[in-house]
């Protein structure tokens, strides 16, 4: 595996007494008729404010769904399953429910459009043994694959991670402290950019298991990063998906991590 050394970070659980429950964020969830958790770790100005809606749920593990594309992209780059972001993978010709998936894709479009078949192909090429080794190397959630290498992070899969663990993983990626080449970590962070302004960059990844939606990532400001991890129930399925980014954006504006127009 790549050469970046892992440095010790204080687990969020170790400073749990410093977690601040945000009553105003509960109102944001209620206004959106949403049930879930949002954990934010604000590292601006060299500090660490840990803000949360539903602290108990923030420690509960769920399927990562397509948020797993972040570490999965690191795995395939490290294993040379993917050469770079320009390598094109031909569509297999199988018509799927999302029309944008029915085309050739590279790593960038695969991440942006959350193309499941592409990452299932990657999983087959990596194989169960390498997937397991990588999961354990980065201490990702419960690091369980089960017996279905094509679907272990998807609906009915065995892999689970909490909002707290998502942020611990993202912090290590932000600092290039994962056990992968720094160039690969920087590339994956580039693939995660979903918005930017004069003095901020938003990096993130959505996920949806069919029952549960995720939105994880961070905002980079000149004064430091603000990490976030939301998961929520999606009883109305796709009709609920837009709420993920909306709830997080509204909450981040309350602490001026995102500007009003973002």
CATH of the domain at 182: 3.40.710.10
**Per the domain annotation, does 26 fall within a domain?**
no
Instruction: Work out the mean pLDDT of the chain and round it to a whole number.
Output: 94
Render pLDDT for 69-96 as a digit per residue (tens, 0 to 9). Answer: 999 999 999 999 999 999 999 999 999 9
- Of the residues 30, 35, 66, 114, only one is catalytic, namely 66
66 tagged catalytic: yes
- Specify if 242 maps to a domain: no
Identify whether 72 is part of a domain.
yes
From the list 155, 158, 154, the residue with the least C-alpha distance to 146 is 158
- Is residue 55 assigned to a domain? no
* Number of domains into which the chain is organized: 1
Q: What is the pLDDT of residues 43-65, one digit of tens each?
A: 999 999 999 999 999 999 999 99
Determine, yes or no, domain membership for 177.
Answer: yes
Does a structural domain hold residue 138? yes
Domain that holds residue 159: 1-6+62-83+110-195+207-221
Tell me the two tokens of residue 257. Answer: 């991590």
Task: Write the pLDDT tens digit of every residue in 163-181.
Answer: 999 999 999 999 999 999 9
Classify residue 57: in a domain, yes or no. Answer: no
Place 261 in a pLDDT band, splitting at 50, 70 and 90: confident
Q: Which of 74, 56, 68, 107 is nearest to 216 (CA)?
A: 68
CA gyration radius, the chain: 18
Kindly list the distances between the CA atom of residue 178 and the CA atoms of 105, 159, 203, 206, 243, in Å, as whole numbers in the listed order. 26, 19, 17, 21, 31
pLDDT band (50, 70, 90) for residue 10:
low
> Is 96 part of a structural domain of the chain?
no
In angstroms, rounded to a whole number, what is the distance separating the alpha carbons of residues 87 and 185? 17
**Shortest CA distance to 105 belongs to which of 92, 119, 89?**
89
């Amino acid at each position: 595996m790549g050469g970046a050394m892992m440095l010790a970070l204080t687990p969020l659980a170790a400073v749990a007494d410093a977690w601040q429950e945000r009553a105003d964020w509960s109102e944001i969830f209620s206004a959106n008729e949403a049930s879930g958790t949002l954990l934010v770790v604000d590292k601006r100005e060299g500090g660490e404010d840990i803000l949360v809606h539903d602290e108990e749920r923030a420690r509960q593990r769920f399927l990562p769904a397509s948020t797993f594309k972040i570490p999965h992209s690191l795995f395939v780059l490290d294993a040379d399953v993917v050469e770079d972001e320009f390598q094109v993978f031909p569509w297999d010709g199988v018509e799927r429910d999302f029309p944008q998936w029915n085309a050739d894709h590279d790593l960038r479009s695969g991440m942006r459009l959350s193309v499941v078949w592409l990452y299932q192909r990657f999983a087959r090429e990596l194989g169960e043994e390498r997937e397991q080794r990588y999961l354990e190397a980065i201490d990702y959630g419960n690091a369980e694959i089960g017996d279905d290498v094509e679907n272990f992070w998807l609906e009915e899969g065995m892999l689970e991670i909490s909002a707290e663990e998502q942020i611990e993983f993202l912090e290590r990626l932000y600092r290039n402290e994962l056990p992968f080449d720094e160039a690969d970590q920087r590339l994956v962070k580039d693939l995660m950019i979903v918005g930017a302004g004069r003095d901020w960059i938003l990096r993130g990844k959505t996920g949806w298991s069919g029952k549960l939606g995720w939105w994880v990532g961070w905002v980079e400001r000149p004064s430091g990063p603000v990490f976030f991890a939301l998961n929520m129930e999606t009883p109305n399925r796709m009709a609920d998906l837009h709420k993920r980014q909306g709830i997080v954006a509204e909450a981040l504006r309350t602490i001026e991590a995102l500007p009003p127009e973002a």
